[in-house]
Amino acid sequence: MPVLPAAEIRGYRLINSKYPPIAIFDDVADAEEFEALYALQALTNPRLANQAGRLEMIPRQDIPFGIPGCSYAAAPFTHVNPEGSRFSDGSFGVLYLADTMDTALAEVRYHQQAYWSQVPDLRYERFVFRGLTTRFDEAGALDALTIARRDRIYAPDDYSASRGLGRDALKAAAMGLRYHSVRQPNAVCWGLFTPRQVSSVVQTAHYEMIWNGDIAAVHKLSTQIG
């Protein structure tokens, strides 16, 4: 696959609003300050390790300290989903981004539908998400847009081939992958294997998804200028 050149990209992401920003990442300007503050707060805050996540999962030099929204950039790598994702088997984190908020909503809506449909007797629920706008440099990412959509890496629910690709790309020290969205026609997504090229993550809006046996509606609740 071709390696992408430097280009500043704006990507979009949704996270569940029950997950707050991790303040300690946003309170420091560099790794040295982080280590000092983390050691100090760990003495008095027994919940700090749970909040910060598994710090051994990400090299300190990969954390973009000092940027707006550093905690949002780092969180997918310190709070790794053990069940994995399209390009990860659960042993490493991936920061997933979409080309528009509509694409991000389509991706999240699909996975929320798949998850909550397995919960018996759930008749009504409301899920609220933060919308995030992320700026990053895609230099060093591999361009999986060159792979045909019929390829197995784009299988709707079988991630065996795509996880193999993610593992190989990570071993090759690729910054990430640019690929076709599986849930939104003609859309593009990125899976970043490191946050070091992220320059900002800004909260822009809240969205709700209404469940009544299916995701029946998606509403934009508010806009925050940041």
Summarize pLDDT for 74-124 with one digit per residue, the tens: 999 999 999 999 999 999 999 999 999 999 999 999 999 988 888 888 888
Q: Residue 140 — left, alpha, or beta (φ > 0 → left; ψ -120 to 50 → alpha)? A: left
Q: For residue 103, what pLDDT is reported? A: 97
Closest C-alpha to 190, from 145, 126, 128, 147: 145
pLDDT the model gives residue 154 = 98
What pLDDT does residue 226 have? 43
Q: Is the dihedral of CA 113, 119, 123, 129 positive or negative?
A: negative
Distances (CA, A) of 14 to 87, 92, 169: 18, 20, 24
Lowest mean pLDDT among 27-31, 50-54, 69-73: 50-54
pLDDT for position 136: 98
pLDDT at 172: 96
User: 3-class SS at 192?
Assistant: strand
Interatomic CA distance for residues 70 and 83, integer angstroms:
24
Q: Please name the residue ranges forming H helices in 79-213.
A: 101-116, 160-171
